[in-house]
Every structure is written in structure tokens, then in C-alpha cells.
């Protein structure tokens, strides 16, 4: 009879507890589906006495996750502590050195150290799996590495941070300003201890960096990603974008171009009628485009106990069945150093301006845009009170560098009453 697959779980927060619950609740089903029993040998967490709502009495306890990673009765080390460095990285390295397979939900660690960890694991003939690190319960890693392995991937894009999507959709639905909804999200426990990880686009950027590596065969390069958060998005932007048929999303886009790898996480306008435009609340969506399959849309819960634990268990089940593939879909040593694109592809832009309510103000702005080679597709002027007249412009396709040049030139016209707001419009 096949011997049991023995797990050591480091981190008993929301996700770790969820994994324990799945194994305890569905042990027979898991054994039937994988062909062997899946058991937990030992666990580790910051507090041994905390009530987590699950029975841990049948598992050995290790205060030190490194010691857990090195135990002889652990076949797979499951790292669910989080953190770019520190105990998570030390324990992961120890597990690999001890000849263990590793499953992690730690996108920050992989976005920074993924190349080195993948090479170390593959040198040892071990697996490093991370389905739970990207988009919660959505099986996007498996889709890229297995289901779409016969495709040349042309573009990856999506909404990969549920907190930001909650804030933006709540602002639109309730007509509330950013600070009010930010406070609501904080009270609901949606934000990281450092909220900048969410609203600054860092968390979602980590995820996109991992997907780009798989999609384009490149070494993970989070440092080269363009990051812009949602902190500057106003209720006026949301309402006026909606008036023109768009919704604002924190959108990640990665694509290989003749200029190099374009990889950015930033607020974008998407058509309100598109799948991304209709995405509500804390849900995630990833869109994959391949040369053979066309466009694939994956939608689901991006975080939470059940969805993320489900993703961890998908990796556990693969290893239990003997399915082993390279960390990023191809040997880590074959991944290439991608040249980062110096500028993003041209796109239409939404431009919100506050102009002095004087004759000729709009003409001066139009002239500046024309001098930068930017033409106007649509324009609206809203009701106002002196001294500022709000104007909304949608441009034809332009580069961000040309638009930034035009915005700088506008400062010298004397007709602006506030700094312009420019948001890319993404074709989806």
C-alpha cells in the first residue's frame, strides 16, 4: 500500500487553519482522489495556546518553523507564514536543503526570491508549488503551466487584489469618497497590516510578476514593474468615467513586446460592459490570451480561508498523485532575463482637468495636446461654479510619455486650477 503523504504546516492563520479543516473533514475523499492518505505530522505558529477552532492535539508542535521543515516525518513543508524574508524564507530554504517538497502561498517571498528558491529546489529534485500565492481560489497557475502549455501566451491581465476592487466598486455603488471607503475596508479587516501593500498595488504586483514569469519564460523581476496605487482616485473620477461608459479597476497587465516585457499594475478604465468592468466587490479576475486558445477568463474569490486553502490543497493533491513540474513551468535555469520595456504601448487616456472659467482656456489645452501629438476623441464639460470649470477628455491612442509632456506644458498655460488626473484606458 502507498505510504501516507505527510505534511508539516508552518503558519496557522486563516489559510493554515483552512488547510487543516479540509484535511480533517475530507480525509477519505482526498485519499480516494489522490491514491494515498494525506496526513499532518506537525505544525508551527507564533502562539501554541490560541484557539483556532480546530483540533491540533494529534499533531506535533514546533516553535521554530525551521525545525519543522527539517523533521524526518515531513514530506511536504507547507509555508503559510508570509513575509518576504525572515522565518518564511529561512524555513523554506531549510526544507529544500533537507530534501522536502515545498508548497507556499507567499507571493512576496517568491516575487523577490523566487528564482533562487526555484533553482535550489530543482537542483535537489524537489517541487516548489505556489497556486495559493496568486488570485486565491482561482487555479491560474495550473491554467498557465498545464492547461495552456501548448499556447504562446500573448498577454496576461486582471484584477488581482480584492481589497482594491472592493474599495473601487463600493465608491461607485454608494457614491462615497476614497477615504470613507478606505475606513470601511479597514474596519472590516480587508486591509493588510501595512495598507500600502493593498492600495499601493504592491500585493497585486507581486502576483503579476509571478504570472509574467510563467507566461513569458522570464526570471521573476518585480523590481522592474511599474506600480501605481488607487490612493489618488476620486469619486469624481469614478462618476465621470461611468458617465462615459467605463469603470476604474486596479489592473495588472503583462505582455511581451518588441520593446521588451511590459509589466505594470495601475488604475485603468475598462469598458463597463466587459467582464472586468462587471467585476464586483472583493472578487478577482484573470484574463489569459494565447495564440491557439484565444482569450480565457478566470473569475473567483481572491482571498479568504476556503478559497486559498483550496488552492494549497490543489498543490498537495498534485504531489500526492506524483505530478511534478518545474516551478515556473520550465526549468528555472532556462528562464531568461527579460529586458523591461522603457515605455508602455500607446493607449487612449482619460484626462480630468480643472480649468479657469475664462474664454480660450480650453483652446490652450487643446493646443498643448496637439503639440504633443495627442488628438482628442471625446470631451465633456460639466456644470460648475466659478472659478473652476471641470473638463473631461478622452484621447485617441497616445504614449504615457507624450501625455506627461503635455501635462507638464499645461502648467505653463495659466489655465489650470488643479493638477490634471490621467488614467489609462485598457482595451479588454
CATH number, domain with residue 146: 3.30.360.10
pLDDT in the model for residue 382: 73
Residue 231: pLDDT band with limits 50, 70, 90 = very high
Residues 283 and 415 in one domain: no
pLDDT in the model for residue 103: 98
Domain stops at, among 58, 85, 104: 104
Domain stops at, among 241, 271, 301: 301
Question: Is 340 part of any domain?
Answer: no
Express each pLDDT in 56-111 by its tens digit: 999 999 999 999 999 999 999 999 999 999 999 999 999 999 999 999 999 999 99
Q: Which residues of 139-155 are buried (b: 16+ CB within 10 A; e: fewer)?
A: bbbbbbbeebeebebbb
Residues 292 and 377 in one domain: no
- Catalytic residue among 89, 100, 207, 249, which? 207
Contact status, residue 264 vs residue 226, Cβ threshold 8 Å = yes
pLDDT in the model for residue 295: 95
Residues 231 and 356 in one domain: no
Residues 244 and 359 in one domain: no
Question: Is 416 part of any domain?
Answer: yes
pLDDT in the model for residue 303: 85
Residue 387: pLDDT band with limits 50, 70, 90 = confident
Residue 383: pLDDT band with limits 50, 70, 90 = low
pLDDT in the model for residue 385: 62
Q: Is the pLDDT of residue 191 over 90?
A: no
pLDDT in the model for residue 419: 86
Contact status, residue 267 vs residue 248, Cβ threshold 8 Å = yes
Contacts of the segment 193-201: beta carbons below 8 A, 24+ positions apart: 196/229, 198/161, 198/163, 198/164, 199/163, 199/164, 199/167, 199/229, 199/230, 199/231, 200/227, 200/229, 200/231, 201/161, 201/164, 201/227, 201/228, 201/229, 201/230, 201/250, 201/265, 201/266
Model pTM? 0.92
Q: How many domains does the chain have?
A: 3
Residues 44 and 157 in one domain: no
| Residue range of the domain that includes 360 | 349-425
Q: Is the pLDDT of residue 1 over 60?
A: no
CATH code for the domain in which residue 18 is found:
3.40.50.720
Express each pLDDT in 104-155 by its tens digit: 999 999 999 999 999 999 999 999 999 999 998 999 999 999 999 999 999 9
Q: What does the pLDDT average to over 189-211?
A: 92
Most confident of the following: 115-119, 365-369, 420-424: 115-119
Residues 295 and 376 in one domain: no
CATH code for the domain in which residue 374 is found:
3.30.70.260
Residues 197 and 268 in one domain: yes
The answer to whether the bond into 387 is cis (omega within 30° of 0) is yes
Q: Is the pLDDT of residue 310 over 80?
A: yes
Q: Is the pLDDT of residue 36 over 90?
A: yes
pLDDT in the model for residue 168: 96
Domain stops at, among 267, 282, 301: 301
Percent of the chain with pLDDT over 70: 99
Question: Is 379 part of any domain?
Answer: yes
Question: Is 364 part of any domain?
Answer: yes
Q: Is 48 a catalytic residue?
A: no
Question: Is 331 part of any domain?
Answer: no
pLDDT in the model for residue 77: 98
Express each pLDDT in 330-355 by its tens digit: 999 999 998 888 777 899 999 998 88
Question: Is 400 part of any domain?
Answer: yes
Question: Is 290 part of any domain?
Answer: yes
Residues 249 and 157 in one domain: yes
Q: What does the pLDDT average to over 238-249?
A: 92
pLDDT in the model for residue 384: 62
Residues 144 and 289 in one domain: yes
Express each pLDDT in 129-139 by its tens digit: 999 999 989 99
Taking residue 306's Cβ as centre, other Cβ atoms within 10 Å add up to 15
Residues 25 and 166 in one domain: no
Q: What does the pLDDT average to over 261-268?
A: 94
Average predicted confidence (pLDDT) for the chain: 93
Question: Is 117 part of any domain?
Answer: no
Residues 162 and 290 in one domain: yes
Residues 356 and 219 in one domain: no
Amino acid at each position: 500500500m502507498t505510504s501516507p503523504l505527510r505534511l508539516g504546516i508552518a503558519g496557522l492563520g486563516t489559510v493554515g487553519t483552512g488547510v487543516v479543516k479540509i484535511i480533517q473533514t475530507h480525509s477519505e475523499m482526498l485519499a480516494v482522489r489522490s491514491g494515498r492518505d494525506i496526513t499532518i505530522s506537525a505544525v508551527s505558529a507564533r502562539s501554541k495556546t490560541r484557539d483556532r477552532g480546530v483540533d491540533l492535539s494529534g499533531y506535533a508542535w514546533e516553535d521554530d518553523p525551521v525545525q519543522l521543515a527539517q523533521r524526518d516525518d515531513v514530506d511536504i513543508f507547507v509555508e503559510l507564514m508570509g513575509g518576504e524574508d525572515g522565518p518564511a524564507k529561512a524555513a523554506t530554504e531549510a526544507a529544500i536543503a533537507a530534501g522536502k517538497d515545498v508548497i507556499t502561498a507567499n507571493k512576496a517571498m517568491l516575487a523577490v526570491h523566487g528564482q533562487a528558491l526555484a533553482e535550489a529546489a530543482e537542483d535537489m529534485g524537489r517541487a516548489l508549488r505556489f497556486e495559493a500565492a496568486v488570485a486565491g481560489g482561482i487555479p491560474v497557475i495550473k491554467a498557465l503551466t498545464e492547461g495552456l502549455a501548448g499556447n504562446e501566451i500573448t498577454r496576461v491581465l486582471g484584477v488581482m487584489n480584492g481589497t482594491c476592487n472592493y474599495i473601487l466598486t463600493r465608491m461607485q455603488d454608494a457614491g462615497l469618497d476614497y477615504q470613507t471607503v478606505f475606513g470601511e475596508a479597514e474596519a472590516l479587516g480587508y486591509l493588510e497590516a501595512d495598507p500600502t501593500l493593498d492600495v499601493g498595488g504592491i500585493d497585486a504586483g507581486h502576483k503579476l510578476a509571478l504570472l509574467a514569469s510563467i507566461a513569458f519564460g522570464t526570471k521573476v523581476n518585480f523590481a522592474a514593474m511599474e506600480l501605481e496605487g488607487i490612493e489618488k482616485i476620486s469619486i469624481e473620477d469614478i462618476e465621470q468615467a461611468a458617465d462615459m461608459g467605463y469603470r476604474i479597476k486596479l489592473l495588472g497587465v503583462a505582455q511581451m513586446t518588441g520593446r521588451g516585457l511590459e509589466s505594470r499594475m495601475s488604475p485603468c478604465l475598462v469598458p463597463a460592459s466587459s467582464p472586468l468592468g462587471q467585476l464586483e466587490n472583493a472578487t478577482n479576475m484573470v484574463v489569459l490570451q494565447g495564440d491557439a486558445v484565444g482569450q480565457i477568463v478566470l473569475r473567483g474569490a481572491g482571498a479568504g480561508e476556503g478559497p486559498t486553502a483550496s488552492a494549497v490543497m490543489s498543490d498537495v493533491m498534485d504531489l500526492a498523485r506524483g505530478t511534478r513540474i518545474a516551478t515556473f513551468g520550465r526549468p528555472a535555469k532556462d528562464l531568461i532575463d527579460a529586458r523591461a520595456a522603457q515605455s508602455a504601448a500607446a493607449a487612449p487616456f482619460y484626462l480630468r482637468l480643472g480649468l479657469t472659467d475664462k474664454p480660450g482656456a480650453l483652446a490652450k489645452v487643446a493646443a498643448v495636446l496637439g503639440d504633443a501629438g495627442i488628438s482628442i476623441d471625446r470631451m465633456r464639460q460639466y456644470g460648475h461654479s466659478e472659478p473652476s470649470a471641470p473638463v473631461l477628455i478622452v484621447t485617441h491612442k497616445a504614449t504615457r510619455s507624450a501625455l506627461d509632456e503635455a501635462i507638464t506644458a499645461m502648467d505653463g498655460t495659466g489655465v489650470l486650477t488643479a493638477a490634471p488626473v490621467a488614467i489609462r484606458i485598457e482595451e479588454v
